[in-house]
Amino acid sequence: MMAARSIEQEEASEVASERLHQVVNALVTGSIHEQAPKGYRGDIVADETIIDLAGQSTGLGSRDTKRRGAAYSGTYYIRDREDHSLHSELGNRRSTKGGVAVGITAVCRVGPPRAVYSVAPVITGISIDKPSSGSVPGLTRAIRFHQENGFDQRIQRGRLPLLTVDMGYNNKQHFNDELLAAGYAPVVRYPQTGGPFSHPTP
């Protein structure tokens, strides 16, 4: 279905998506009373939350031969029982959960290390995408709106602001490149076993 789109339809979809995010983030900005709280140095936390729009049902899916959910903006997903990873098709996997959903990536401002709650944690940027374990494009978009709407209160000539995320982003392509381009130092966690790092990063 997506592959059958014309170039004009793709461009129109991108314009509509950008307008959607402009409206959503304008609502976010309008709900925040204090744009530059005292003591804020630009540190942020980000995470993706999967919002289910329709549950699992026989014949439900994204292919032309499948029935789609009532919410056209959602994407079909299943969560693997073994490693909890997300997939668009069941295949031979055993799932613990699935359905049609969207992934909401939210950026939240926080205080500096050792004083995280000195700044009220408030969501300052949002991106709406297909569900994933951590969308780098979604994170990049949420950070962009956080910055464009005036919440990037970093100190000039100070350290890079910190961005803290969970393990879902560690192995994603372009994660570090996008963060450094946006001007953030990543703070991430690694599994206790099975990788080159055995302890969380400071």
Give the CATH number, domain containing residue 146.
3.30.420
Mean pLDDT of 107-136: 93
Contacts made by residues 179-186, CB under 8 angstroms, sequence distance 24+: 182/140, 182/143, 182/144, 182/147, 183/154, 184/44, 184/143, 184/160, 185/159, 185/160, 185/161, 186/162
Asked, for residue 159, whether it belongs to a domain, the answer is yes
pLDDT score of 23 more than 90: yes
Cα–Cα nearest to 127, from 107, 147, 109: 107
Asked, for residue 38, whether it belongs to a domain, the answer is yes
Asked, for residue 200, whether it belongs to a domain, the answer is no
Asked, for residue 124, whether it belongs to a domain, the answer is yes
pLDDT at 29: 95
pLDDT score of 196 more than 60: no
Asked, for residue 2, whether it belongs to a domain, the answer is no
pLDDT at 190: 64
User: Which one has a higher pLDDT value, 196 or 2?
Assistant: 2
pTM of the model: 0.79
Mean predicted lDDT score pLDDT of the chain = 81
pLDDT at 97: 65
Domain holding 107, by residue range, is 7-55+102-187
Asked, for residue 154, whether it belongs to a domain, the answer is yes
pLDDT at 199: 39
Asked, for residue 160, whether it belongs to a domain, the answer is yes
Number of folded domains that form the chain: 1
User: Which one has a higher pLDDT value, 71 or 187?
Assistant: 187
User: Which one has a higher pLDDT value, 6 or 48?
Assistant: 48
Asked, for residue 96, whether it belongs to a domain, the answer is no
pLDDT score of 14 more than 80: yes
pLDDT score of 60 more than 80: no
Which residues face 129 on adjacent strands? 103
Mean pLDDT of 161-178: 88
pLDDT at 69: 57
pLDDT at 62: 63
